[in-house]
Amino acid sequence: MREFSTDLDQVGGHYALVAARFTRSITEQLVAGAERALIGHGIDADNIHCVWVPGAFEIPLACQRLTQIRHITGARYNAIIALGAVIRGQTPHFDYVAGECARGIARVSLDSGVPVIFGVLTTDTREQAERRADPGAGDKGGAAARAALEMAGLPIPKLID
């Protein structure tokens, strides 16, 4: 068997973060972790763009638009990273917001062929979300960025007869 995996330091490219403002202080931590990880793997800070949206429910539409645009340079985003938190409250709102966000992200990714990474925390409490988002603790933003690089550089072998 031959195995194929991505060297995260060799991927390069352009990345978009889509950040949900509803949980602003938590999302800022996710953004900081993601930015640090991308730069740590050699991505130019100028090639990392962050777009804020009202809440997790709006993330999929922003991701869809970002898969469609091209920069002046002609480049497209190599991957998009959705960041935010949906915290379970006393209402069924949690299930609608978290469910539609996850479904929408998966749909945009499969429809476009662009990796769209689900870096949206779904937790019972705010404290859990804060711990997972903290770049010095759970660092889920960093983990989402590494997943983006891995998928952007996915080494699918070419079959040549």
Closer to ligand INI by Cβ: residue 5 or 90: 90
Question: Which residue among 6, 36, 50, 55 contacts ligand INI (CB under 6 A)?
Answer: 55
87 binds ligand INI (CB under 6 A): yes
130 binds ligand INI (CB under 6 A): no
Q: Rounded to 5, what percent of the chain is helix, strand, coil?
A: 50, 20, 30
Helical H runs in the chain?
24-40, 59-68, 93-112, 126-133, 140-152
- Alpha carbon distance 20, 2 (integer Å): 40
84 binds ligand INI (CB under 6 A): yes
Sign of CA dihedral 91, 92, 95, 100: negative
Q: Does the active-site annotation cover 93? A: yes
Question: Which residue among 48, 97, 148, 152 contacts ligand INI (CB under 6 A)?
Answer: 97
Stretch that binds ligand INI, among 32-40, 52-60, 64-72, 151-159 (CB under 6 A): 52-60
